[in-house]
Amino acid sequence: MLRITGTGTAHTCDGTTRRDFLQVGALGVGGLSLADYLQAKELGQVKEGHDERSCIMIFNLGAPSHIDTFDMKPNAPAEVRGPFKPIATSCGEYELSEILPRHAELSQHISLVRSCHHTGAAVHDAGWQMMQTGRQFQGGVNTPHAGSVLSYLRGRRSDLPPFVVLPETMGRGGGNLPNGQAGGFLGKAYDPFALMADPSREDFRVPDLLPPESLGEVRLNRRRKLRDLVDAAVSNFESTENAQMMGRNFEAAYRLMSSDTAREAFELSKEPQSVRERYGMNRFGQCCLLARRLVESGVRFVTINTFLTVFDEITWDIHGSKPFTSIEGMRDIVAPLYDQGYSALVEDLQQRGLLDNTLVCNLAEFGRTPRVNPAGGRDHWPQCFTVGFAGGGVRGGQVVGASDPVGGTPADRPVQPGDVIATVFHSLGLKIDAHLPGPAGRPFPLVDFGHREIHELF
């Protein structure tokens, strides 16, 4: 997670801590220079003509029951099909659950992949890793999030960070594992900018985007000049890779802190109240609206966590008994806010002419058990689940793959996390057979051998 301000103990004469100031240079927002981008392009890692593409990744933390939402089984026994009925959709190619009526109205833009599965442990954080990076972390190697890879290969487009997580990075998942929402072996410079605030609150603001009150822009400029003098005097350090990275990070963080454009992108009060209400005056809905504003202002990749943890809040984790969510809780609370916020985002992007160049992908760590458990809920099930895509070059209104009659395993066109991430990279114009500089300087493939984009979507 990236922060620009912080706490410290050594103070300057104007009250600003030494750590506050140095942290701007040490943990700035990841971004490449033009030379870096041209080098990546020359090495064949990025495609021509896709630089305008962005991605909004909605991560449905807790894992929706695919059988009760996107892949219903109305002809299965009652203990499998659950309590909800399927409804027709505008595209006429598939049905959805009655608890997602607004998805059904916009289905001509939405394509589903009903045959996703993985072999990781049936714990939340193992699935978080796999579905956001394409891999399960092994041997102490943390693979970078797809947004971090995009930041590394394409850099920034504006004063805003290239990769943002809303409203904040994931919390605990029960397995005590890294959640996959970081730069991994690429380094902390490619961690996302995490909002760390609830945009639905009346007092919402992003303090990290504002210079500390005791450190005005004039003083920031003085310190910037002082840093340049110090760097020029220490030429041996300046020539090192660490110094060059620090310089780029300082420039990126300085631009973010002093940019009117960046502050305005986060200013939801500039939206008409009717638009805010269309998205839903809740944390998820306002995060969806903020994601639209961010990609509109140049952010390349936004991840929205529908929820923050599977503990202490109602989520998609419908085990049926407290402290987890019941199927009724999903019907009455979770599905309505998700249906409203997601449909508003897709509709708004389409009406503004942004959908073709914005991939909206809906992911989760796994599905839920085909049979309802004794508590009336469903448990973890990595063996089969559904993911969705809209925009970003995807042809909407179609289904790829199929599950078996009870939604237990893929019956056609099995899809794995590596294929999902390859699809995201393909939409964004990254060559999936490219390599990153991996641990110990060894080339690290963007996608494991054998995984390709889901070509039927395009």
**How much is the pLDDT for 257?**
65
Q: Does some domain include residue 97?
A: yes
Helix (H) or strand (E) holding 404: none
Under DSSP, the state recorded for 300 is S
pLDDT at residue 160, rounded to an integer: 96
Place of tokens 């004469």: 13
Q: Is 7 within a domain?
A: no
Give the CATH number, domain containing residue 317.
Answer: 3.40.720.10
- Owning domain of residue 125: 31-206+266-457
Residue 105 lies in a domain: yes
Is position 242 within any domain? no
pLDDT at 226: 58
**Per-residue pLDDT, 15:** 37
Alpha helices in 316-441, H assignment, sequence order = 327-329, 335-351, 417-428
Residues counted in the chain: 458
Predicted confidence at residue 236, as pLDDT, reads 56
Residue 89: burial class (beta carbons within 10 Å; 0-12, 13-18, 19+) = buried
Q: Which of 61, 58, 54, 4 is nearest to 29 (CA)?
A: 4
Residue 374, classed as helix, strand or coil, is coil
Long-range contacts of the stretch 86-92 (C-beta < 8 A, 24+)? 90/397, 91/396, 91/397, 91/398, 92/397
HSE at residue 286, side-chain half, CA atoms within 13 A, is 21
Please return the burial class of 358, using the count of CB atoms within 10 Å of its CB with bins 0-12, 13-18 and 19+: buried
DSSP bridge partners of 358? 54
The reply to whether 306 falls in a domain is yes
* 234 is a domain residue: no
The pTM assigned to this predicted structure is 0.85
CA–CA separation, 384 vs 5, rounded Å?
A: 43
Question: Is 201 a domain residue?
Answer: yes
Phi, psi of 202 (to 5 degrees): -65, -30
Residues of the chain with pLDDT under 70: 1-45, 49, 207-258
- The pLDDT of residue 374 is 96
Please give the pLDDT value at position 196: 94
Q: How far apart are the first and last CA of the chain?
A: 33
Task: Count how many Cα atoms sit within 13 Å of the Cα of residue 257 in the half-sphere of its side chain.
Answer: 30
**1 falls within a domain:** no
Domain count, the chain: 1
For residues 319-331, b (16+ Cβ closer than 10 Å) or e, as one string? bbeeebbbbebbb
C-alpha 199/C-alpha 284 separation (Å) is: 9
